[in-house]
Amino acid sequence: MTKIFLFIILMFLSAACIERPLVIGFSDLEPCVMFNDEHKPYGFDIDLFNRIAEKIKLTDYQYREVQFKNIFYDVKAGYVDLGIGGITITSKRERAVDFTHPYLQADIKALAKAQKESTLSAVFHAIYQTNVRNLTLIVLCFSIFMGIILAFVEKRENTDKSIFFLIFDYTLFTLVTISTVGYGDRTAKTIIGKNIVMFIILVGLAIFGCYVGTITANIQFDRTVSDINCMKDLRDKPIATVEDTYASDALCEENLGSKIYKTKDLSRAFDLLKADKVSAIVFDAPPLLRYASKNPGYMVAPFSVRIQNYGFVVSMHSPWRVKINQALLELQESGEYQKIYDKWF
Protein backbone atom coordinates (compact mmCIF):
# COMPACT_ATOMS: atom_id res chain seq x y z
CA MET A 1 0.00 0.00 0.00
CA THR A 2 2.85 2.36 0.88
CA LYS A 3 4.54 1.66 -2.46
CA ILE A 4 1.33 2.45 -4.33
CA PHE A 5 0.94 5.68 -2.36
CA LEU A 6 4.54 6.74 -3.13
CA PHE A 7 4.06 5.84 -6.79
CA ILE A 8 0.95 8.04 -6.98
CA ILE A 9 2.84 10.95 -5.37
CA LEU A 10 5.75 10.59 -7.81
CA MET A 11 3.38 10.47 -10.76
CA PHE A 12 1.64 13.60 -9.49
CA LEU A 13 4.95 15.46 -9.04
CA SER A 14 6.14 14.39 -12.48
CA ALA A 15 2.93 15.61 -14.05
CA ALA A 16 3.23 18.89 -12.19
CA CYS A 17 6.79 19.35 -13.47
CA ILE A 18 5.79 18.59 -17.02
CA GLU A 19 2.81 20.89 -16.94
CA ARG A 20 4.53 23.86 -15.31
CA PRO A 21 4.96 26.92 -17.53
CA LEU A 22 8.21 27.47 -19.39
CA VAL A 23 10.29 29.92 -17.35
CA ILE A 24 12.39 32.43 -19.28
CA GLY A 25 15.04 34.15 -17.22
CA PHE A 26 16.24 37.58 -18.27
CA SER A 27 18.39 40.49 -17.16
CA ASP A 28 17.76 43.98 -18.48
CA LEU A 29 19.97 45.39 -21.23
CA GLU A 30 18.74 48.14 -23.55
CA PRO A 31 17.26 47.72 -26.10
CA CYS A 32 17.07 43.92 -25.72
CA VAL A 33 15.14 43.86 -22.47
CA MET A 34 13.83 46.88 -20.54
CA PHE A 35 11.10 47.61 -18.03
CA ASN A 36 8.01 49.71 -18.65
CA ASP A 37 6.20 51.82 -16.03
CA GLU A 38 4.44 48.72 -14.72
CA HIS A 39 7.81 46.95 -14.36
CA LYS A 40 6.97 44.52 -17.14
CA PRO A 41 9.74 43.48 -19.55
CA TYR A 42 9.72 44.70 -23.14
CA GLY A 43 12.28 45.20 -25.90
CA PHE A 44 13.85 43.51 -28.90
CA ASP A 45 14.45 40.14 -27.23
CA ILE A 46 10.95 40.10 -25.75
CA ASP A 47 9.28 40.89 -29.09
CA LEU A 48 11.42 38.33 -30.87
CA PHE A 49 10.80 35.53 -28.38
CA ASN A 50 7.06 36.25 -28.24
CA ARG A 51 6.95 35.81 -32.01
CA ILE A 52 9.04 32.62 -31.76
CA ALA A 53 6.60 31.32 -29.12
CA GLU A 54 3.73 31.88 -31.54
CA LYS A 55 5.63 29.99 -34.24
CA ILE A 56 6.26 26.94 -32.05
CA LYS A 57 2.75 27.17 -30.52
CA LEU A 58 4.09 27.83 -27.03
CA THR A 59 1.38 29.49 -24.93
CA ASP A 60 2.28 28.63 -21.35
CA TYR A 61 5.43 30.57 -20.49
CA GLN A 62 6.47 33.35 -18.15
CA TYR A 63 9.36 35.78 -17.76
CA ARG A 64 11.44 35.92 -14.59
CA GLU A 65 14.08 38.52 -13.79
CA VAL A 66 17.45 37.12 -12.71
CA GLN A 67 20.88 38.64 -12.17
CA PHE A 68 23.06 38.38 -15.24
CA LYS A 69 25.91 36.72 -13.34
CA ASN A 70 23.51 33.96 -12.19
CA ILE A 71 21.69 33.31 -15.45
CA PHE A 72 23.99 30.53 -16.66
CA TYR A 73 23.83 28.67 -13.34
CA ASP A 74 20.05 29.10 -13.20
CA VAL A 75 19.65 27.58 -16.67
CA LYS A 76 22.05 24.72 -15.91
CA ALA A 77 20.35 23.96 -12.56
CA GLY A 78 16.87 24.09 -14.10
CA TYR A 79 15.61 27.11 -12.15
CA VAL A 80 14.81 28.69 -15.51
CA ASP A 81 14.40 26.95 -18.86
CA LEU A 82 15.86 29.68 -21.07
CA GLY A 83 17.97 32.80 -20.68
CA ILE A 84 17.56 35.95 -22.79
CA GLY A 85 18.66 39.57 -22.64
CA GLY A 86 21.71 40.24 -24.80
CA ILE A 87 23.82 37.21 -23.88
CA THR A 88 27.04 36.71 -25.82
CA ILE A 89 27.87 33.28 -27.22
CA THR A 90 31.36 32.23 -26.11
CA SER A 91 33.28 28.96 -26.07
CA LYS A 92 33.73 29.18 -22.30
CA ARG A 93 29.98 29.51 -21.70
CA GLU A 94 29.28 26.68 -24.17
CA ARG A 95 31.03 24.30 -21.77
CA ALA A 96 28.33 24.86 -19.15
CA VAL A 97 25.20 25.61 -21.19
CA ASP A 98 24.04 25.54 -24.78
CA PHE A 99 22.95 28.35 -27.11
CA THR A 100 20.48 28.73 -29.93
CA HIS A 101 21.57 30.05 -33.31
CA PRO A 102 22.84 33.65 -33.10
CA TYR A 103 19.96 36.10 -33.42
CA LEU A 104 21.88 39.40 -33.27
CA GLN A 105 25.41 40.54 -34.09
CA ALA A 106 26.45 42.75 -31.20
CA ASP A 107 30.14 43.59 -31.54
CA ILE A 108 32.05 45.07 -28.61
CA LYS A 109 32.54 48.74 -29.39
CA ALA A 110 33.64 51.99 -27.72
CA LEU A 111 31.44 54.94 -26.77
CA ALA A 112 33.06 58.34 -26.28
CA LYS A 113 32.14 62.01 -26.08
CA ALA A 114 31.90 63.85 -29.38
CA GLN A 115 31.90 67.44 -30.60
CA LYS A 116 30.93 69.27 -33.76
CA GLU A 117 33.65 69.38 -36.39
CA SER A 118 34.97 72.82 -37.39
CA THR A 119 34.18 74.16 -40.88
CA LEU A 120 37.84 74.11 -41.92
CA SER A 121 38.25 70.56 -40.67
CA ALA A 122 35.06 69.51 -42.51
CA VAL A 123 36.45 70.91 -45.79
CA PHE A 124 39.79 69.13 -45.34
CA HIS A 125 37.97 65.91 -44.48
CA ALA A 126 35.87 66.22 -47.64
CA ILE A 127 38.95 66.76 -49.82
CA TYR A 128 40.74 63.78 -48.27
CA GLN A 129 38.00 61.30 -49.23
CA THR A 130 38.89 58.47 -51.62
CA ASN A 131 36.58 59.64 -54.41
CA VAL A 132 38.20 63.10 -54.41
CA ARG A 133 41.70 61.62 -54.42
CA ASN A 134 40.75 59.46 -57.40
CA LEU A 135 39.37 62.46 -59.28
CA THR A 136 42.51 64.46 -58.45
CA LEU A 137 44.61 61.69 -59.97
CA ILE A 138 42.42 61.70 -63.10
CA VAL A 139 42.77 65.48 -63.47
CA LEU A 140 46.56 65.32 -63.09
CA CYS A 141 46.92 62.46 -65.57
CA PHE A 142 44.65 64.24 -68.08
CA SER A 143 46.61 67.51 -67.69
CA ILE A 144 49.99 65.83 -68.14
CA PHE A 145 48.77 63.84 -71.15
CA MET A 146 47.34 66.93 -72.87
CA GLY A 147 50.43 68.91 -71.88
CA ILE A 148 52.66 66.41 -73.69
CA ILE A 149 50.47 66.48 -76.84
CA LEU A 150 50.38 70.30 -76.93
CA ALA A 151 54.12 70.56 -76.31
CA PHE A 152 54.93 68.44 -79.39
CA VAL A 153 52.22 70.11 -81.54
CA GLU A 154 53.38 73.63 -80.61
CA LYS A 155 57.11 72.90 -80.56
CA ARG A 156 57.77 74.62 -83.91
CA GLU A 157 56.15 77.82 -82.62
CA ASN A 158 58.28 77.77 -79.46
CA THR A 159 61.82 77.06 -80.63
CA ASP A 160 63.31 79.02 -77.75
CA LYS A 161 62.11 76.48 -75.14
CA SER A 162 63.17 72.88 -74.50
CA ILE A 163 60.59 70.13 -74.88
CA PHE A 164 60.63 69.41 -71.13
CA PHE A 165 59.90 73.04 -70.32
CA LEU A 166 57.08 73.07 -72.88
CA ILE A 167 55.55 69.91 -71.39
CA PHE A 168 55.56 71.51 -67.94
CA ASP A 169 54.22 74.81 -69.32
CA TYR A 170 51.38 73.21 -71.29
CA THR A 171 50.51 70.90 -68.38
CA LEU A 172 50.10 74.00 -66.24
CA PHE A 173 48.16 75.61 -69.09
CA THR A 174 45.77 72.61 -69.17
CA LEU A 175 45.22 72.69 -65.40
CA VAL A 176 44.48 76.43 -65.42
CA THR A 177 42.21 76.09 -68.46
CA ILE A 178 40.21 73.33 -66.76
CA SER A 179 39.80 75.28 -63.51
CA THR A 180 39.41 78.82 -64.93
CA VAL A 181 39.83 80.19 -68.48
CA GLY A 182 43.52 79.77 -69.19
CA TYR A 183 46.35 82.27 -68.76
CA GLY A 184 48.25 84.59 -71.06
CA ASP A 185 51.80 83.28 -70.75
CA ARG A 186 51.13 80.29 -72.97
CA THR A 187 48.50 79.54 -75.63
CA ALA A 188 48.10 77.45 -78.76
CA LYS A 189 49.16 79.08 -82.06
CA THR A 190 48.64 76.28 -84.56
CA ILE A 191 45.24 75.14 -85.89
CA ILE A 192 45.72 71.66 -84.44
CA GLY A 193 46.76 73.15 -81.12
CA LYS A 194 43.70 75.42 -81.00
CA ASN A 195 41.42 72.44 -81.67
CA ILE A 196 43.10 70.54 -78.86
CA VAL A 197 42.52 73.51 -76.53
CA MET A 198 38.79 73.49 -77.41
CA PHE A 199 38.72 69.79 -76.58
CA ILE A 200 40.44 70.53 -73.27
CA ILE A 201 37.88 73.23 -72.43
CA LEU A 202 34.90 70.98 -73.19
CA VAL A 203 36.26 67.93 -71.35
CA GLY A 204 37.66 70.14 -68.59
CA LEU A 205 34.24 71.62 -67.85
CA ALA A 206 32.85 68.15 -67.19
CA ILE A 207 35.85 67.04 -65.13
CA PHE A 208 36.04 70.19 -63.03
CA GLY A 209 32.27 70.26 -62.50
CA CYS A 210 32.37 66.68 -61.27
CA TYR A 211 35.40 67.50 -59.09
CA VAL A 212 33.77 70.48 -57.36
CA GLY A 213 30.44 68.64 -57.02
CA THR A 214 32.11 65.67 -55.35
CA ILE A 215 33.92 67.86 -52.82
CA THR A 216 30.73 69.78 -52.05
CA ALA A 217 28.77 66.54 -51.57
CA ASN A 218 31.43 65.25 -49.18
CA ILE A 219 31.30 68.28 -46.89
CA GLN A 220 29.28 67.60 -43.74
CA PHE A 221 29.17 70.72 -41.64
CA ASP A 222 27.20 69.02 -38.84
CA ARG A 223 29.51 66.02 -38.58
CA THR A 224 30.48 65.00 -35.06
CA VAL A 225 33.98 63.79 -34.31
CA SER A 226 35.61 61.99 -31.40
CA ASP A 227 39.11 61.38 -30.09
CA ILE A 228 38.46 57.62 -30.22
CA ASN A 229 38.61 56.49 -33.85
CA CYS A 230 40.71 53.32 -33.80
CA MET A 231 41.90 50.66 -31.37
CA LYS A 232 45.19 52.38 -30.58
CA ASP A 233 43.32 55.48 -29.36
CA LEU A 234 42.22 53.41 -26.35
CA ARG A 235 45.72 52.33 -25.33
CA ASP A 236 46.63 55.08 -22.86
CA LYS A 237 43.20 56.26 -21.76
CA PRO A 238 41.00 55.38 -18.76
CA ILE A 239 38.15 53.10 -19.84
CA ALA A 240 34.95 51.88 -18.19
CA THR A 241 33.18 48.56 -18.75
CA VAL A 242 30.79 46.28 -16.85
CA GLU A 243 32.19 43.60 -14.57
CA ASP A 244 31.62 39.86 -15.14
CA THR A 245 30.90 40.33 -18.85
CA TYR A 246 32.60 39.16 -22.03
CA ALA A 247 33.38 42.82 -22.83
CA SER A 248 35.32 43.06 -19.57
CA ASP A 249 37.32 39.93 -20.39
CA ALA A 250 38.02 41.12 -23.94
CA LEU A 251 39.20 44.51 -22.70
CA CYS A 252 41.78 42.90 -20.42
CA GLU A 253 42.92 40.44 -23.10
CA GLU A 254 43.49 43.27 -25.59
CA ASN A 255 45.54 45.14 -22.96
CA LEU A 256 43.63 48.35 -23.60
CA GLY A 257 43.37 51.39 -21.36
CA SER A 258 45.74 52.96 -18.85
CA LYS A 259 43.16 52.17 -16.16
CA ILE A 260 40.02 50.03 -16.40
CA TYR A 261 36.97 50.80 -14.26
CA LYS A 262 34.69 47.76 -13.91
CA THR A 263 31.25 48.93 -12.83
CA LYS A 264 28.35 46.85 -11.50
CA ASP A 265 26.05 48.04 -14.26
CA LEU A 266 26.14 50.10 -17.45
CA SER A 267 24.42 53.15 -15.93
CA ARG A 268 27.38 53.66 -13.59
CA ALA A 269 29.74 53.46 -16.55
CA PHE A 270 27.70 56.18 -18.28
CA ASP A 271 28.04 58.33 -15.14
CA LEU A 272 31.83 57.97 -15.25
CA LEU A 273 31.90 59.07 -18.90
CA LYS A 274 29.63 62.05 -18.20
CA ALA A 275 31.93 63.15 -15.37
CA ASP A 276 35.02 62.83 -17.64
CA LYS A 277 36.53 60.25 -15.32
CA VAL A 278 36.97 57.91 -18.29
CA SER A 279 37.58 58.60 -21.97
CA ALA A 280 35.39 55.80 -23.27
CA ILE A 281 33.07 52.92 -22.40
CA VAL A 282 33.86 49.56 -24.01
CA PHE A 283 30.83 47.30 -24.12
CA ASP A 284 28.30 45.61 -26.40
CA ALA A 285 27.18 47.74 -29.33
CA PRO A 286 23.34 47.67 -28.92
CA PRO A 287 23.10 49.59 -25.61
CA LEU A 288 25.91 51.95 -26.64
CA LEU A 289 24.21 52.76 -29.96
CA ARG A 290 20.91 53.35 -28.18
CA TYR A 291 22.57 55.71 -25.69
CA ALA A 292 24.32 57.64 -28.48
CA SER A 293 21.03 58.01 -30.39
CA LYS A 294 19.43 59.61 -27.32
CA ASN A 295 22.42 61.76 -26.40
CA PRO A 296 23.82 63.87 -29.29
CA GLY A 297 27.04 64.63 -27.41
CA TYR A 298 28.21 61.02 -27.66
CA MET A 299 29.15 58.69 -30.50
CA VAL A 300 30.12 55.05 -31.02
CA ALA A 301 33.56 54.58 -32.57
CA PRO A 302 33.66 53.05 -36.09
CA PHE A 303 35.77 50.02 -35.10
CA SER A 304 35.04 46.83 -33.14
CA VAL A 305 37.13 45.61 -30.23
CA ARG A 306 35.67 42.13 -30.71
CA ILE A 307 33.10 40.58 -33.05
CA GLN A 308 30.40 38.74 -31.13
CA ASN A 309 26.83 37.47 -31.36
CA TYR A 310 23.89 37.14 -28.99
CA GLY A 311 22.02 33.86 -28.52
CA PHE A 312 19.30 32.49 -26.26
CA VAL A 313 20.68 30.31 -23.47
CA VAL A 314 19.31 26.78 -23.04
CA SER A 315 20.43 23.79 -21.03
CA MET A 316 22.49 21.02 -22.58
CA HIS A 317 20.35 18.74 -24.79
CA SER A 318 17.35 21.01 -24.33
CA PRO A 319 14.39 20.05 -26.58
CA TRP A 320 13.64 23.75 -27.05
CA ARG A 321 16.87 24.51 -28.91
CA VAL A 322 15.86 22.89 -32.21
CA LYS A 323 12.34 24.35 -32.09
CA ILE A 324 13.61 27.87 -31.39
CA ASN A 325 16.27 27.58 -34.11
CA GLN A 326 13.72 26.51 -36.71
CA ALA A 327 11.33 29.31 -35.76
CA LEU A 328 14.16 31.86 -35.80
CA LEU A 329 15.23 30.81 -39.30
CA GLU A 330 11.63 31.02 -40.53
CA LEU A 331 11.28 34.55 -39.12
CA GLN A 332 14.52 35.61 -40.83
CA GLU A 333 13.51 34.08 -44.15
CA SER A 334 10.02 35.62 -44.09
CA GLY A 335 11.26 39.13 -43.28
CA GLU A 336 9.44 39.26 -39.92
CA TYR A 337 12.75 39.30 -38.06
CA GLN A 338 13.82 42.41 -39.99
CA LYS A 339 10.60 44.22 -39.03
CA ILE A 340 11.25 43.50 -35.35
CA TYR A 341 14.88 44.57 -35.76
CA ASP A 342 13.93 47.85 -37.46
CA LYS A 343 11.59 48.65 -34.58
CA TRP A 344 14.41 48.69 -32.04
CA PHE A 345 17.56 49.58 -34.00
Res 7: pLDDT: 45
pTM of the model: 0.65
pLDDT greater than 60 at residue 249:
yes
Res 10: pLDDT: 43
Q: Where exactly are the structural domains of the chain?
A: 18-105+309-344, 120-218, 226-300
pLDDT tens per residue, range 260-310: 899 998 999 999 999 999 999 999 999 999 999 888 889 998 889 999 999
pLDDT tens per residue, range 37-76: 888 999 999 999 999 999 999 999 999 999 988 999 999 9
CATH class of 18-105+309-344: alpha beta
How remote is the C-alpha of 148 from its chain's centroid?
47
Mean pLDDT computed over 154-163: 78
β-pairing, 238-242 with 259-263? parallel
pLDDT tens per residue, range 171-218: 888 888 877 765 556 677 788 878 888 888 888 777 777 777 777 776
pLDDT greater than 50 at residue 17:
no
CA distance 122 to 100: 45
Average pLDDT, the chain: 84
pLDDT band at 229; cut points 50, 70, 90: confident
Q: Are domains 120-218 and 226-300 of this chain identical in fold?
A: no
Buried b (16+ CB within 10 A) or exposed e, 303-329: eebbebbbbbbbbeebebbebbbebbe
Res 45: pLDDT: 96
Rounding to the nearest 10 degrees, give the CA dihedral for residues 288, 289, 291, 294. 170
Tell me which architecture the domain covering 120-218 has in CATH.
Answer: Orthogonal Bundle (1.10)
Mean pLDDT computed over 331-343: 94
Tell me which architecture the domain covering 226-300 has in CATH.
Answer: 3-Layer(aba) Sandwich (3.40)
